[in-house]
């Protein structure tokens, strides 16, 4: 069975590298890494990932929610938000989309593993 | 037993005064208070003009008026040279029934106007902040009832001004609170993001470290480079940082072996500075372990200049060149340092990075767009 494919959307290379290493160690494939909303939408269309890990604040115009809404308009892929902002305004903003989950940054490996297991392997999460 | 008394029906003047007080109590800015007061003053007193004069340090500022003809709106006079100043200083109502005959008035100011008689009342009698002036175009001795009305209107204006001040203070307090909440949220975001970066550096350093000592050296070195870059940014008040200062700081441990050449006035925006500081630190650490900085005679030249890329896009080119070091060979596998350099330049700064492992010394060419 091929490994599930994950798209990472994160504007900081070091954080993206860390997330990539974590999900690869869990046995998933990282099919792409985008740093902007427009890049995320393009990659999601081209690569058709099984899950998107989405930062909220991105480089350039638009944020992660804008990108997620555009991705969801074309395809129903689970989007897990990773955010360093736990304030109500950010949570409200994320809930304008249909988040599969919201994880705080720095991301805890066990929490990420649990969420991906639930979404991709039908685990109890 | 006495029968309950019916309240007296207000006459027209009282109704007008009550309506004015109601409007003034709802006013939330100075301009509205002044406009309502001058208009009502003219209607209530039946005079030919009313002005609202603000205390402005030692000056009287004729800020608003409602008059037959323009008077002094917008002008400022020293308190000693106008009758409003008398009312402000003496905190009392002042009446002049003939402006031409009163030595306290500068006749020249009144001659071109219609004003023949006047009365001015302080706004906030115990510590006046303004004056309400009423003017007549004919000789007129204001009656006690008119003066009482003028002072009553001034008192209502004083209350309205106090309301405006309270509303302003309330608004400012709410704004300050909102601003503080935003700052705390932003600070929290940055702290957590920085922790995520530190977590990444720790994990990546750990998985590649031969032992705990090597992990400690490399992790603490990277953390120190990040901290120093932040320190420079704080010193610069989070404004663009001179590239020369940023490079000198990143390469400080190897200062004697490094030569920096480029426009000394060139500055980097904060995100570019933070990323480039780590990149230069990684290049230097790599040179100190395997390249020119690993031997006493080895040298590093770092040059930079503003130059467009092949597509004509403006940007900054940096050239890191090692020489007089041990022979260089391309590493068999990409280490974290190389991954960090290419990731930060390509992903974070939308730039380009080319590394040439020339046996005579490593060349690293970086190009960063002016507008990533």
In a shared domain, residues B244 and B134: no
A59 lies within 8 A of chain B by CB: yes
Residue B126 counted as domain residue: yes
Token pair recorded at residue B168: 């302003």
**In which element (H, E) is residue B176 found?**
helix B144-208
Residue B265: partners with Cβ closer than 8 Å, 6 or more residues away: B242
CA proximity to B226, closest of B200, B244, B187: B200
Least confident interval from B269-283, B288-302, B328-342, B347-361: B328-342
Task: Tell me the pLDDT of chain B averaged across its residues.
Answer: 92
Q: B214 touching A, CB under 8 A?
A: no
Say whether residue A87 is in contact with chain B using an 8 A CB cutoff: yes
**Is B64 within the bounds of a domain?**
yes
* Residues B329 and B230 reside in one and the same domain: yes
C-alpha–C-alpha distance, residues B193 and B17, integer Å: 61
Say how many CA atoms lie within 13 Å of A96 toward its Cβ: 14
Question: Where among B150, B171, B192 does a domain terminate?
Answer: B171
Percent of chain A at pLDDT > 90 equals: 82
The pLDDT tens digits of the residues spanning B175-231 come to: 999 999 999 988 999 899 999 999 999 999 999 899 999 999 999 999 999 999 999
- For position B87, what pLDDT does the model report? 94
Q: How far is B242 from B268, CA to CA, in rounded Å?
A: 6
Total count of domains within chain B:
2
Residue B296 lies in a domain: yes
Quick check: is B298 in a domain?
A: yes
Average pLDDT over residues B323-335: 90
Residue B237 sits in the same domain as residue B289: yes
Q: Does residue B62 sit within a domain?
A: yes
Contact assignment for B348 to A12 by CB distance below 8 Å: yes
Q: What is the tens place of the pLDDT at every residue in B52-106?
A: 999 999 999 999 999 999 999 999 999 998 899 999 999 999 999 999 998 888 8
User: Taking CB atoms and an 8 Å cutoff, what residues of chain B touch A107?
Assistant: 196
Give the torsion sign (CA, A63, A68, A73, A74): positive
User: Cβ of B214: how many Cβ atoms within 10 Å?
Assistant: 12
Does position A125 have pLDDT exceeding 60, yes or no? Answer: no
Predicted pLDDT at B116: 95
* Single residue among B109, B144, B171 that ends a domain in this structure: B171
Distance from CA of A35 to the nearest CA of B (A): 7
Among the three residues B143, B171, B199, which one is the final residue of a domain in this structure? B171
Sign (positive/negative) of CA torsion B210, B211, B214, B217?
positive
Q: Which long-range contacts (CB under 8 A, 24 or more apart) does B229-237 make?
A: B229/B273, B229/B274, B229/B277, B229/B278, B230/B274, B232/B273, B232/B277, B233/B270, B233/B273, B233/B274
ipTM of the complex: 0.88
Nearest residue of B to residue A58, measured between CA atoms: B348
3-state class of B324 per DSSP?
A: coil
pLDDT confidence band for B6 (50 / 70 / 90): low
Q: Which domain holds residue B28?
A: 10-171
Q: Are residues B18 and B114 in the same domain?
A: yes
Q: How far is B175 from chain A (nearest CA, A)?
A: 17
* Cβ within 8 Å, pair B348-A106: no
CB contacts under 8 A, A 19-58 vs B, are 21, 33, 35, 57
| Tens digits of residue pLDDT in B152-187 | 999 999 999 999 999 999 999 999 999 999 999 889
Please give the structure tokens belonging to residue B303.
Answer: 């040059």
Q: Would you say residue B271 lies in a domain?
A: yes
Q: What is the pLDDT of residues B114-128, one digit of tens each?
A: 999 999 999 998 999
Do B227 and B345 belong to one domain? yes
Q: Residues B140, B143, B145, B148: is their CA dihedral positive or negative?
A: positive
In a domain, B184, yes or no: no
**Shared domain check, B66 and B215:** no
- To probe the interface with A, which of B187, B274, B348 has the most A CB atoms within 10 Å? B348
Q: Are residues B164 and B236 in the same domain?
A: no
CB-based contacts of B359-362 (< 8 A; 24+ apart in sequence) = B359/B327, B359/B328, B359/B329, B360/B323, B360/B327, B360/B328, B361/B291, B361/B292, B361/B321, B361/B322, B361/B323, B361/B324, B361/B325, B361/B328, B362/B286, B362/B287, B362/B291, B362/B292, B362/B320, B362/B321, B362/B322, B362/B328
CATH code of residue B322: 3.30.565.10
Chain B CB within 8 Å of residue A103 CB: no
Q: The domain spanning residue B61 has which CATH number?
A: 3.30.450.40
Any B CB within 8 A of A92 CB: no
Q: How confident is the model at residue B2 (pLDDT cuts 50, 70, 90)?
A: very low
0.90 cut: is pTM over it? no
CB-CB neighbors (< 8 A) of B346 in chain A: 13
Instruction: Give domain status of residue B203, yes or no.
Output: no
Which residues in chain B touch residue A87, judged by CB atoms under 8 angstroms apart?
A: 185, 188
Looking at beta carbons, which residues of chain A come within 8 Å of B196? 12, 15, 18, 84, 105-107
Whether B28 and B159 map to the same domain: the answer is yes
Does any CB of chain B come closer than 8 Å to the CB of residue A15?
yes
Whether residue B261 is found in the same domain as residue B157? no
In terms of CA atoms, which chain B residue is nearest residue A17? B200
Q: Are residues B221 and B143 in the same domain?
A: no
Check if the beta carbon of residue B356 is closer than 8 Å to that of residue B321.
no
Smallest CA–CA distance, residue B344 to chain A, in Å, is: 6
Contact criterion met (CB < 8 Å) for B348 and A13: yes
Q: Are residues B232 and B342 in the same domain?
A: yes
Using the predicted structure, report yes or no on whether residue B1 has a pLDDT greater than 50. no
Q: Are residues B145 and B289 in the same domain?
A: no
């Amino acid at each position: 069975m091929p490994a599930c494919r994950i798209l990472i959307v994160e504007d900081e290379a070091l954080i993206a590298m860390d997330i990539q290493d974590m999900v690869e160690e869990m046995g998933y494939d990282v099919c792409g890494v985008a740093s902007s909303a427009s890049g995320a939408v393009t990659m999601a269309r081209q690569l058709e990932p099984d899950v998107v890990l989405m930062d909220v604040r991105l480089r350039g115009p638009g944020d992660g929610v804008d990108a997620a809404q555009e991705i969801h308009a074309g395809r129903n892929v689970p989007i897990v938000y990773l955010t360093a902002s736990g304030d109500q305004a950010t949570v409200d903003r994320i809930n304008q989309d249909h988040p599969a989950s919201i994880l705080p940054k720095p991301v805890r490996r066990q929490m990420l593993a649990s969420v991906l297991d639930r979404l991709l392997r039908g685990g109890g999460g | 037993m006495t029968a309950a008394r019916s309240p007296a029906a207000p006459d027209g003047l009282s109704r007008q005064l009550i309506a004015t007080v109601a409007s003034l109590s709802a006013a939330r800015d100075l301009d509205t208070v002044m406009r309502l007061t001058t208009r009502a003053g003219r209607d209530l007193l039946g005079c030919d003009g009313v002005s609202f004069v603000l205390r402005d340090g030692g000056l009287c500022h004729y800020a608003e008026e409602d008059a037959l003809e323009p008077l002094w709106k917008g002008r400022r006079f020293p308190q000693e040279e106008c009758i409003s100043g008398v009312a402000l200083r003496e905190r009392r109502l002042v009446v002049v029934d003939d402006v031409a005959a009163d030595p306290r008035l500068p006749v020249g100011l009144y001659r071109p106007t219609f004003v023949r008689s006047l009365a001015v009342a302080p706004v906030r009698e115990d510590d006046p902040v303004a004056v309400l002036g009423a003017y007549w175009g004919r000789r007129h001795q204001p009656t006690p009832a008119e003066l009482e009305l003028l002072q009553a209107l001034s008192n209502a204006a004083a209350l309205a001004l106090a309301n405006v001040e309270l509303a302003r203070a309330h608004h400012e307090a709410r704004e300050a609170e909102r601003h503080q909440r935003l700052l705390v949220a932003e600070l929290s975001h940055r702290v957590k993001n920085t922790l995520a970066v530190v977590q990444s550096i720790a994990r990546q350093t750990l998985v590649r470290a031969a032992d705990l000592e090597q992990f400690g050296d490399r992790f603490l070195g990277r953390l120190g480079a990040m901290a120093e870059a932040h320190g420079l940014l704080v010193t610069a008040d989070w404004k663009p940082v001179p590239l020369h200062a940023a490079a000198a700081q990143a390469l400080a441990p190897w200062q004697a072996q490094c030569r920096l050449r480029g426009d000394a006035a060139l500055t980097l925006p904060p995100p570019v500075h933070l990323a480039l500081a780590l990149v230069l630190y990684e290049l230097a650490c790599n040179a100190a372990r395997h390249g020119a900085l690993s031997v006493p005679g080895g040298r590093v030249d770092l040059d930079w200049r503003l130059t467009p890329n092949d597509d004509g896009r403006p940007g900054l080119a940096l050239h890191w060149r090692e020489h007089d070091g041990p022979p260089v060979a391309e590493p068999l596998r990409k280490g974290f340092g190389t991954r960090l350099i290419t990731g930060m330049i390509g992903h974070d700064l939308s730039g380009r990075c080319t590394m040439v492992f020339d046996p005579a010394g490593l060349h690293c060419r970086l190009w960063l767009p002016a507008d990533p």
